[in-house]
Amino acid sequence: MAVLPKFIEGAAFGSLNTVLSHFLGGDGKDGYALPSRYEVIITPPGKPDPAAKKTSLRCESISLPGMNLTSTPDSNMYGVPAEIVDGVSFADTINMTFQSSSDLEERVLFERWQEQAWDRETWNIKYYTEYTAPIDIYVLDLQNNKKYGVRLFDCYPKTIDAVPLSYATATDIIKINVSMQYRYWETLNITAQPQGLGDKLFDVIAGNIKRGISSRVPKVLSKLG
């Protein structure tokens, strides 16, 4: 004879009415995140480029990056072996698509960015820090408030895709597809309060004091530290 199971909570917490009450509430805290509500902030390395903001606004599609925990079976455990985490990995690139203006200013921006990685005259490759820069991606609500954000570190446009030209698509907009290489990403703290003037002054004074002390320490002792 089968025994009917007994549960501590008889009713399910995820009923349809409960779910709808959370997502349709009027407090503005709940709701669905829409893939069409996002903002991208591109800041190429070097001097500020006026085309960067315009290009950021023309980003037609992008993906939030993923993360993968690599694992291996633990053969020392009895029974069914557990998968033990042995590392973390990120995707190599993230694909970005931009609507192009009439002068293809968006493509030119990424061409200039790529040229910061190598010298056109000598063909020598430059330092890593000279051609990498962060990129921020934000998810927005219906009021354009930032609700979630990630920062991609050490980015550079690895590939600018070829752009097909054809009379058959006379009314289409030219799209610039870019494969952006990055090293890793972190979640941005949207709710963090901006640093006040007093805190900024304290950091500046503390930094100056630290540099002043370091300059007076003999080189031999500094090497020992």
Render pLDDT for 143-158 as a digit per residue (tens, 0 to 9): 999 999 999 999 999 9
Residue 110 near residue 176 (C-beta atoms within 8 A): yes
CATH code of the domain containing 116: 2.30.110
Query: Distance between CA 80 and CA 83 in Å, rounded?
Result: 10
Is the pLDDT assigned to residue 160 strictly greater than 90?
Answer: yes
- Those residues whose C-beta lies under 8 Å from the C-beta of residue 214, and which sit 6 or more positions away, are 222
The C-alpha atoms of residue 175 and residue 106 are separated, in whole angstroms, by 10
Q: Does 128 lie in the same domain as 37? A: yes
- For 21, other C-beta atoms within 10 Å of its C-beta total 11
| Residues 148 and 38 grouped into a single domain | yes
Around Cβ 77, how many Cβ atoms within 10 Å?
Answer: 10
pLDDT: is 102 or 22 the higher one?
Answer: 102
Token pair belonging to 190: 């949207």
Query: What pLDDT is stored for residue 224 in this prediction?
Result: 44
**Average pLDDT of 10-39?**
70
3-state helix, strand and coil shares in percent for the chain, rounded to the nearest 5:
25, 30, 45
Query: What pLDDT digit, counting tens, does each position of 171-196 carry?
Result: 889 999 999 999 999 999 877 655 55
48-87 pLDDT, tens digit per residue, is: 899 999 999 999 999 999 999 999 998 887 788 889 999 9
Q: Helices 105-115 and 50-57: crossing angle, nearest 10°? A: 120
How far apart are alpha carbons 152 and 93 in whole angstroms?
10
User: Based on the structure, what is the number of domains in the chain?
Assistant: 2
Q: Which domain holds residue 219?
A: 193-225
User: Do 154 and 124 belong to one domain?
Assistant: yes
Residues 180 and 137 grouped into a single domain: yes
